[in-house]
């Protein structure tokens, strides 16, 4: 008989922090990764752990279009 105990899922941010600690990433790198996930979630409009591969691709394509040169143009507009 299989008696697997189900633990409740932990919030994504907590899991990410634990994984990054296990990989010995610097605090600065961890902070940057968490910031980028927050940006992605804002763009997505829902929790990032519900995103599809296509959602991530579209986000990355949109970020690629925003270069330092076009960022300045957008600010001046």
Domain ranges of the chain: 12-76
16-42 confidence digits (pLDDT tens): 999 999 999 999 999 999 999 999 999
Q: Is the pLDDT of residue 63 over 90?
A: no
- Using an 8 Å Cβ cutoff, are 40 and 33 in contact? no
Q: At 5, phi and psi to the nearest 5?
A: -95, 125
Rounded Cα gap, residues 56 and 58, in angstroms:
5
The mean of the pLDDT values for the chain is 82
- Using an 8 Å Cβ cutoff, are 59 and 40 in contact? yes
pLDDT of 76: 47
Reported as a pLDDT band with limits 50, 70 and 90, residue 77 is: very low
Q: What is the pTM of this model?
A: 0.67
| Chain Cα centroid distance, residue 44 | 10
């Amino acid at each position: 008989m299989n008696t697997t105990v189900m633990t409740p899922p932990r919030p994504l941010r907590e899991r990410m922090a634990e994984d990054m600690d296990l990989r010995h990433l610097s605090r600065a790198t961890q902070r940057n990764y968490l910031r980028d996930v927050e940006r992605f979630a804002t763009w997505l409009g829902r929790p990032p752990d519900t995103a599809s591969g296509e959602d991530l691709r579209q986000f990355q394509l949109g970020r690629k279009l925003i270069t330092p040169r076009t960022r300045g143009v957008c600010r001046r507009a």
